[in-house]
Amino acid sequence: MLEVADIVAGYGRVLAVQGVSLSVAEREFVALVGANGAGKSTLMKVLSGLLAPKSGSIRLGGRELAGSGAEEAVAAGIVLVPEGRMVFPRMTVLENLLLGATNPRARKDRERSLERVFALFPRLAERRGQLARTLSGGEQQMLAIGRGLMALPRILILDEPSLGLSPLLVQETYKALQRLNADGLTILLAEQNVRLSLAVSTRGYVMEHGRIVLAGASAKLADDPATRKAYLGL
């Protein structure tokens, strides 16, 4: 469904992404793993339309989206839950969620989406009137994911959702993602937490210095001697 080919991108003359190709099929759960600085976040920014690539193509359902901006990407169905969550701090939980459903396709189903998100994260329903900045880190992550779901994504992309969360909350977040995937949501997950992200995903890519160096079934990658040595410390 998502076809990414030969993406080259970066800020100024530094090319953090140097010719990345990857694909995600409908209903798949794909992990993109790699160390800090491997270029994952830059690639996520390109996919979400925040950053225009220098070259390469991004196709969703056959439609070319490279360089056409975030508004187009969201309208087409690529939705990013960004690193650091980026909730709107001085707005309530409810307002944050409503903003998620800005694109015209999602706006029509806003009320129904809201019920779904509240069912998935009952904590958000309890705190709907609270300002987002008063939430705990785990709750903010729920809010960021919930807000992403409000956009009715065809593919949900998450950048380091485990960052800054306690192991228990990371487990909880991942369980929620697995449930969403089981319900039919296509997910691309960029993570430094290699062990966990390969455990929940079906397929994975390993990124290093702006390039994909390994790809395959997550279980296989987790067993691969190179991955084990470099990322799992085994």
Partner 1 sequence: MPIDVLLQATTQGLLMGSIYALVALSLTLIFAVGGLLNFAHGDFMVLAMYAAFAVLAAVGVDPYLLAVPLFGLFFLVGTGLFRGLVRPVLSEGLLVGAQLTLGMVFVLQNAMLLIFGGDHLSVPTVLSNRNVAFGTVILPLPLLVASAVAAILSIFLYVLLMRTDFGRQVRAVTQNRDAAALMGIPIVRVQAKAFGLGIGLLGLTGAFLVAQFTLTPSMGLDLTLLALIVMVFGGIGNFLGCLGGGLIIGVIEGLGTLFFGGTVGAMAPYVALVLVLLLRPHGLFGEH
Query: What is the contact surface with partner 1 in residues (CB under 8 A)?
Result: 48-50, 69-71, 73-75, 79-80, 82, 86-91, 95, 98-100, 102-103, 147, 151
83 vs 35: CA distance, rounded Å: 14
Radius of gyration of the chain (CA): 17
User: Smallest distance from the beta carbon of 188 to partner 1, in angstroms?
Assistant: 15
User: Smallest distance from the beta carbon of 131 to partner 1, in angstroms?
Assistant: 11
Q: For residue 22, give the amino acid letter.
A: L
User: Smallest distance from the beta carbon of 96 to partner 1, in angstroms?
Assistant: 9
User: Smallest distance from the beta carbon of 133 to partner 1, in angstroms?
Assistant: 10
Beta-carbon contacts of 128 under 8 Å, excluding residues fewer than 6 positions away, are: 92, 93, 94, 97, 118
Sequence-distant contacts of 96-99: CB under 8 A, at least 24 apart: 96/132, 96/143, 96/147, 97/124, 97/128, 97/143, 97/146, 97/147, 97/150, 98/150, 99/147, 99/150
Q: Give the nearer residue to partner 1 in terms of CB position, either 45 or 203.
A: 45
Q: Give the nearer residue to partner 1 in terms of CB position, either 82 or 204.
A: 82
User: Smallest distance from the beta carbon of 75 to partner 1, in angstroms?
Assistant: 6
DSSP strand E in 109-217: where? 155-159, 186-191, 203-208, 211-217
Q: Give the nearer residue to partner 1 in terms of CB position, either 113 or 227.
A: 113
Q: Give the nearer residue to partner 1 in terms of CB position, either 49 or 161.
A: 49
Q: Give the nearer residue to partner 1 in terms of CB position, either 101 or 221.
A: 101
Q: For residue 87, give the amino acid letter.
A: V
User: Smallest distance from the beta carbon of 95 to partner 1, in angstroms?
Assistant: 6
Cα–Cα–Cα angle for 26, 27, 33, rounded to 5 degrees: 95
Q: Give the nearer residue to partner 1 in terms of CB position, either 69 or 167.
A: 69
183 vs 191: CA distance, rounded Å: 22
